[in-house]
Amino acid sequence: MLGNIINQIESYNPNADLDIVVKAYNYAEMAHSNAQTRFSGERYFIHPYNVALILADLHMDVQTICAGLLHDVVEDTGITFDEIKNEFGIEIANMVDGVTKLSKVKYRNKEERQAESLRKMIVAMSKDIRVVIIKLADRLHNIRTLQYMPKEKQ
């Protein structure tokens, strides 16, 4: 699976720092190695892998692809923002943090959720548009696998 991401990156950026992508891939795979699975029955790591593959298909830089691989690590595991920062640097850590913050707020109703989501997207775009692109790739993969969700969640 890693080879698919690497091949895609090499097709548009032959001088890319692939070591950091390999490191992020292995780190995310290890972080999500618990028994957590998706509704499809696949192991959870399939989701961040597919998010990263979408980002590579969009010809994003390696930092964004790494953040895509790591985007659920802080939210879904015991790994902290500081650990991501120490392993991958502040740029990648800030993108992971931005995606996590876009996911966190709970809402009273649909209108409030939509308004707050739009506000957060605008704030994220003003800081780093890549955060929004990662979140959109995240949502795209979730939509592609919607058939596995319970009907009430669809």
Cβ-based neighbours of 65, under 8 Å, separated by 6 or more: 5, 9, 21, 24, 52, 55, 56
Number of helices (H), then strands (E), in the chain:
9, 0
Which of helix, strand or coil describes residue 37?
A: strand
User: Is 76 considered catalytic here?
Assistant: yes
3-state class (DSSP) for residue 73: helix
Instruction: Identify the active-site residue in 29, 61, 76, 83.
Output: 76
Look up 75 and say whether it is catalytic. Answer: yes
For residue 36, what are the contacts with CB-CB under 8 A and spacing of at least 6?
43, 44, 76
Q: How many residues does the chain have?
A: 154
Phi, psi for residue 123 in degrees, rounded to 5 = -60, -45
Catalytic residue of the set 75, 82, 112, 116:
75
Which residues have a catalytic role annotated? 75-76
